[in-house]
Structure 1
């Protein structure tokens, strides 16, 4: 388990890059997986990483597991590496935006 200072920094960074609320992410995951003929159960909608991000958003910091901490590191790394600092968010292609939204980051959402 990470020490308290590292965990605090990771918690803050995770919540900075994951700028969608748990309700927004849950709705997005259900919408993305809904087909014309079927819709998955709410707790099975979206990719496993997106579902894990949603579960973390619904936890308190004191309830995090080692697996949660690894996922948080992974999400921070993914979002940070895919941010397009050269272009305005509107210039981002839809596919890349949707991939980021599936892990809780909407690049078109204004910063908090």
Structure 2
């Protein structure tokens, strides 16, 4: 079982990685652009799109109500955002309409913020 210090670190890292509000994420997830990006293991909803829905649920919870599964997903989100920011296109003109940005937004991070 994770200790209190680990949960605090994950909470802070998640808050830094997810820079979109629940309402911004929900609005984004309704767009065609959101649905077109990401890995779709069964041909349906992408992993990132499903993650975005889960992020909204987590962000709407009180910290005291978060479960171990919530913290596990928060760690996954932090890892994804960090990796993709490091790998992403670094030419500013490519970012606004890129699949890279759209994928990150499915995970709750808008690199233009």
TM over 0.5: yes
Q: Are the structure 2 counterparts of residues 88 and 21 from structure 1 closer, same or farther at C-alpha, using a change threshold of 3 Å?
A: farther
**In structure 1, how many angstroms separate the alpha carbons of the residues matched to 2:68 and 2:92?**
33
Alignment partner of 1:87 is 2:95: no
Aligned twin of 2:14: 14
Describe the superposition over 1:34-61 as per-residue Cα deviations: whole angstroms up to 9, x where unpaired: 99xxxxxxxxx98221111110110111
Describe the superposition over 1:52-89 as per-residue Cα deviations: whole angstroms up to 9, x where unpaired: 11101101111111111111010000000111488255
Q: Are the structure 2 counterparts of residues 89 and 61 from structure 1 closer, same or farther at C-alpha, using a change threshold of 3 Å?
A: farther
* Residue of 67, 70, 74 corresponding to 1:68: 70
Q: CA deviation at 1:95?
A: 0.3
Q: Is the 8 A contact 2:34 2:102 kept in 1?
A: no
Structure 1 gap ranges (5+):
36-44
Structure 2 counterpart SS, 1:83: helix
How many residues align? The count is 100
Structure 2 gap ranges (5+):
36-44
Aligned twin of 1:38: none
Aligned twin of 1:106: 110
